[in-house]
Chains A and B, each alone.
Chain A
Amino acid sequence: MYCNTFGRFACRVFRESRFQCPMNKGQGTMSKRLATWTSCKHYKQFLERHLSNLKFMGVATRLVQHVRTVSHSTLDPAEVRKFQAMANKWWDLQGDFAALHSLNDLRVPFIRDNLLNVHSVHPISKPLAGLRILDVGCGGGLLTEPLGRLGAVVLGIDPVEDNVRIAELHASHDPVLQDHVQYRACTLEELADEEEEHFDAVLASEVLEHLADLDTFIHCCHCVLKPGGSLFITTINRTQLSYVSSIVLAEWLLRIVPGGTHDWDKFITPVELERLLESSGFCVESLRGMFYNPACGAWSWQKSTAVNYALHALKQRAEPQQDHIQPESDGLDASAHTDGPHQYNIRTAGRDTHTHTT
């Protein structure tokens, strides 16, 4: 599924990034300043393309580049270059990212409906008004823009600068998006230090399957979310079927995706993910399987999570009142999706373990 490819690359990039989030407060200021200079640098490039007369300070940008390359990292420059080469193709609806565009048909309603269930009623034309959302690994802004149009204030982060630049350019023409959408080229760890408990929702779509250190990632998500905030994940399961479809079919036979894109060992099963989320202070609200039909290029919901799946989890509030979420969830999830019966829920009453078939 090449819809995952570039998200995967992007997030492997930030996951293995040279910018490790400095945990103590002393260095926090430094990272904040670096992030600031980074933003200014991108802004400079953006402006230079349009208004050739504006100049910004060049020293800091060189400082930023120097700092980026010095920190330890397992970032693969070849992969970053590959993404940079493809950066311009984000918004070609018939191009390499077509499946990611069509994935919006599932993930935008999924996010919207679950957020509407958790939060109070909003004006119909802007259902997500007043919510702050973080899109991790936003790429060219494919998921960021629809949520901005629905009224949310969205911050899209991506470690690949070219992606952020393309996203900013694309959003720059639309005055509605200008007020709702912002982009930054940075990693989640950097952000976690600055923006504690700042967001109502975090999106990690087509990201998890690239990460080497899921624990830290989930921990950072926990940091940036407000209590009761939502975490939305779409990723690939680790099953025989996903091996056949994502590796054999997509990479070897149909060559939808370049060989070596996927590492099947990095795929994560819903059970493992659920266990990780619970131990990090989340409560899984819903889990749904997705199916991609390469013939018509369309996604659909399905009962089985054998290949792709989407998950919604809530950050538990400080008071130990887990019970009050679950009874509501029955009713909530029944209305959380538009085409009823295919979803199944994971109940996490206390610490009971239970099995579910995928």
Chain B
Amino acid sequence: STCLCKRTLNRIICCYFTIYDVYDIIISGGGMVGTAMACSVGFDPNLQGSKILLLEAGSKKEMDKAPDVYSTRVSSISPGSATLLSLGAWDHIVNLRCKPYQKMQVWDACSDALITFDKENLQDEMAYVVENDVIVAALTKQLHALSDQVEVQYRTKVVKYTWPRPYHAVTSIPWVKVTLADGRTLKTKLLIGADGSNSMVRREAGIPTVKWNYDQSAVVAVLHLSEPTENNVAWQRFLPTGPIAMLPLSDRESSLVWSTSHQHAEELLQMDEESFVDAINSAFWSNENQSELVEAAGSLFRAALSFLMPDGTSTRQLPPSVAGVGPKSRVMFPLGMGHASEYIRHRVALIGDAAHRVHPLAGQGANLGFGDVSCLARVLSQAAFNGKDLGEMQHLLEYETERQRHNLPMMAATDLMKRLYSTNAAPMVLLRTLGIQATNALPPLKEQIIAYASK
């Protein structure tokens, strides 16, 4: 009877404090990475029975079939990310629309140096080009199948986060409090911030961020090719103003990502379609930036390499020519680099762009985010199996260490590449020319690069 009395009193206290509103995990931000995180924890067997909530400020993105027009924002999805998404969402993506490619050619505008990456027998995919909308729609559809595990609230804006008090204030509520625009307050044991590069979670947690703006904007568009082609190659050329890249979408269409100065980007947006197409074609094809000195040194080095390693040189191929641009598909956005010095706090973890933001030249932005999702999901699963409080620092530190160790070198390399290729001063051009040619001649090194980028 004492037990009954105690339980009744417990219930009264519970109702008084409405502690039944405590979620195990709240994910703030329903973009690609946030929704992928919700799917991963929803699927995890050790987290069955946990109360999980995804908060998204926008509306639900559903897509029964791929629209006729390609959307502008696309991502290059590595095989590692595809494995993560293969928890159901990948099937939806394949059914909607995606384009694998087997080869990548990267070359310089200031010299003849080039490097090609390809899987040995051209059978395996190097990566997949998928529209961002397709990824989100596929993940949303997968979440629908998990509606028992994961609750989703769309059109829900967060106005405030309140952090838990330290241990010795034993009478205070130890959870993170999330205050919504409609006045409701939710409590959670773990808050995952997936709210993009201007993350409110990161800002309000006071996590210092190293960030700077590149003086560049990216112009993205959908391109119509002159003639149908197999289109299984990704092309990227480093111009003095910035890299221009063409990613395959289908036999007749490709996606453009052109990083250039703010002024030039605005000019590109203002141009009529014909001038824009000409600008793209000449950016890929013209050789006006090459100096004789560099050309001479480059060809000498190439001759030496072909003597030492006959298989180590590649002939330069030209990307397909562009005939038109998708209507109203030209968009520009500014580029910058950002890295949160800490990915975690007590009961808080950052994933995706909230933790790190990179230049698109390496096509790694989305993949780093998916890598964060897969690591954090694994860490939380193990913590739940060990009966731990999900917001405890110990396993969150494991996540932070592992991901920072992977992300920082990638971001440093991307930043270095960007800076290296932002000049056409002869010494730098010579250095990078020789470097690229040497790397191209060493298949083991190229395999390492591909392996690292494919995770």
Contact = CB atoms under 8 A, between A and B. Distances in A.
B317 interface: no
Contact of A178 (B10, B45, B171, B389): B10
B9 interface: yes
B13 to A, nearest CB: 7
Contact of A124 (B45, B173, B394): B45
Nearest to A35: B2
Given A124-B46, A146-B387, A173-B173, A51 B16 contact: yes
Contacts of B167: 91-93, 95
A39 B7 CA distance: 12
Given A146-B388, A147-B387, A173-B173, A125 B48 contact: yes
B175 A123 contact: no
A39 to B, nearest CB: 6
A124 B170 contact: no
Given A108-B386, A173-B174, A175-B14, A125 B2 contact: no
Contacts of B17: 173
Contacts of A175: 14, 19-20, 22
A36 B170 contact: no
Interface residues of A, number: 40
B112 to A, nearest CB: 53
B13 A172 contact: yes
A95 B168 CA distance: 11
B45 A36 contact: no
B2 A149 contact: no
Interface residues of B, number: 35
Contacts of A149: 384, 387-389
A306 B170 CA distance: 38
B323 interface: no
Given A39-B2, A124-B48, A125-B45, A92 B386 contact: no
Contacts of B394: 93, 102
Given A88-B170, A92-B167, A93-B392, A173 B19 contact: yes
Interface in A272-329: none
A123 B168 CA distance: 35
A145 B174 CA distance: 15
B48 to A, nearest CB: 4
B435 interface: no
Contacts of A145: 387, 389
A126 B47 CA distance: 9
A329 to B, nearest CB: 23
A93 B46 CA distance: 24
Q: Which of B20, B22, B386 has the most CB of A within 10 A?
A: B386
A150 to B, nearest CB: 4
Nearest to B19: A175
A104 B385 CA distance: 12
A50 B387 CA distance: 28
A127 B49 CA distance: 12
User: Chain A contact residues: over half helix, strand or loop, or mixed?
Assistant: helix
Nearest to B189: A174
Contact of B387 (A93, A95, A112, A123): A112
Given A39-B2, A109-B386, A50 B13 contact: yes
Contacts of A148: 387
Contact of B384 (A40, A104, A125): A125
A140 B353 CA distance: 39
A92 B6 contact: no
B393 interface: yes
A92 B173 CA distance: 15
A339 interface: no
Interface string B1-27: 011001001100110110110100000
B46 A125 contact: yes
Interface string B369-387: 0000000000000001111
Contacts of B388: 104, 146, 149
Of B2, B49, B174, B387, which is in contact with the most chain A CB atoms at under 10 Å from its CB?
Answer: B387
Given A39-B2, A173-B173, A125 B49 contact: yes
A150 B170 contact: no
B393 to A, nearest CB: 7
A131 interface: no
Contacts of B389: 145, 149
Interface in B246-265: none
Nearest to A126: B49
A215 interface: no
Nearest to B390: A149
Given A108-B386, A109-B386, A123 B14 contact: no
Nearest to A127: B385
Contacts of B49: 125-126
A35 to B, nearest CB: 9
Contacts of A109: 386
Interface string B34-46: 0000000000011
Nearest to A152: B387
21 contacts: A36-B2, A43-B6, A50-B171, A51-B16, A91-B167, A91-B170, A108-B387, A109-B386, A112-B386, A123-B48, A124-B48, A125-B45, A125-B46, A147-B387, A149-B384, A149-B389, A150-B387, A170-B170, A173-B19, A174-B22, A175-B14
